[in-house]
Amino acid sequence: MSDGQERPVALVSGATRGLGLGIAKALGEAGCVVHVTGRSRAGATTENLPGTVEAAAAAVSAAGAAAGGGSGHSKPCDHRDEAQVQALMAAIARESGRIDILVNNAWGGYEHHPGAAFAAPFLRQPSDNWTRMFDGGLKATFLTTRHALPLMTGPKTADRPRLIVNTVAWAYDEYLGNLYYDVAKAAAIRMVYGLARELSGAEIACVALAPGFVRTERVARALADDPDTLAKLESPDYAGRAVVALAADPDVMERSGRLFTVGDLARDYAFTDTDGRQPPPFRLE
């Protein structure tokens, strides 16, 4: 993506681990300056899962050094907190002056989900789960986008993309198993449709990106006794390659306002996962 001129600047929220880290590393490999955010810091990780924002930035820099020369920069941030989001944008403005690529991946909706199992019927779900799901996911996406946009709307040059990606859960309109979760994820898709309309004049492409079943740290822990199934899942890097392909596409505005699966984009742009496979678009069974 970088051809030796000024490097694109990316912000990837929720990039401490999993899908966000895979996307951030792919952007680093493509030559971007990547600001990675997360709440897990050295000595204080969330959900008892491995990974910190500092380690994520180092991994992005390592990926960049081995390939396209990109770099990772750690930015601890809880994207549910507007003051922290504003401070984040001020820091990026000082260091980089702009944002070219925004990936909204922060998602805390699974946390502190008490009282009922995730897949329990709606009437058995505590009403407070609505607030947890929407604050942990959708609110974070809204606040981040709102405060990032002033850094994305300056003069555009031909060598830099302008792209917003919301990572979402979608399975060909199948129910996702939890009403709060399903509605929150659907709202993130609708947000892309609206943003595409409002930002078309600024030439900022907005898309929703739906990965399949991804081999994240959480999933790896759950499937520790089933290595064969685990090996068949998408790596986080697969979605990262999708974001890089979108950002490098000079005609990406033609895709604005639409939802894409990683599998569909792999076929469109002819990229593969890290093991050479091209996992198809995800469907619930």
Query: Hey, which residues does 73 pair with through a beta bridge?
Result: 35
Element (H, E) at 12: strand 9-12
CB atoms within 10 A of CB 81: 16
C-alpha to C-alpha distance for 109 and 25, rounded to whole angstroms = 24
The answer for residues whose C-beta is within 8 angstroms of residue 194's C-beta and 6 or more apart is none
- Give 153 or 223, the one with higher predicted confidence: 153
**Token pair listed for 24:** 């951030």
Q: pLDDT band at 4, cuts 50/70/90?
A: very low
Does the pTM surpass 0.85? The reply is yes
* pLDDT one-digit tens code per residue, 46-83: 556 667 999 999 999 999 998 878 999 999 999 999 99
CB 65 within 8 A of CB 42: no
Average pLDDT over residues 208-237: 78
Q: Which CATH superfamily is domain 9-269 in?
A: NAD(P)-binding Rossmann-like Domain (3.40.50.720)
Q: In Å, what is the CA distance from 80 to each residue of 83, 132, 182, 257?
A: 9, 10, 19, 24
Q: Comparing 39-53, 139-153, 208-222, 269-283, which segment has the lowest mean pLDDT?
A: 39-53
Summarised one tens digit per residue, pLDDT across range 86-111 is: 999 999 999 999 999 999 999 876 65
18 alpha carbon, distance to own chain's centre: 10
Mean per-residue pLDDT over the chain, rounded:
88
Alpha carbon dihedral 67, 249, 246, 267, in 10-degree steps, equals -90
| Percent of the chain topping pLDDT 70 | 87
Reply yes or no on whether the pLDDT at 164 is more than 90.
yes
Residue 141 or 225, more confident: 141
Q: What is the rounded distance in angstroms from the CA atom of residue 5 to the CA atom of residue 161?
A: 13
Most confident of 23-27, 216-220, 223-227, 281-285: 23-27
Q: What is the pLDDT at residue 17? A: 87
Is a pLDDT exceeding 60 seen at residue 258? yes
Query: What is the per-residue pLDDT across 112-125, written as a single tens digit (0 to 9) for each?
Result: 555 567 788 889 88
CA atoms within 13 A on the CB side of 12: 32
- Map out the domains of the chain as residue ranges: 9-269
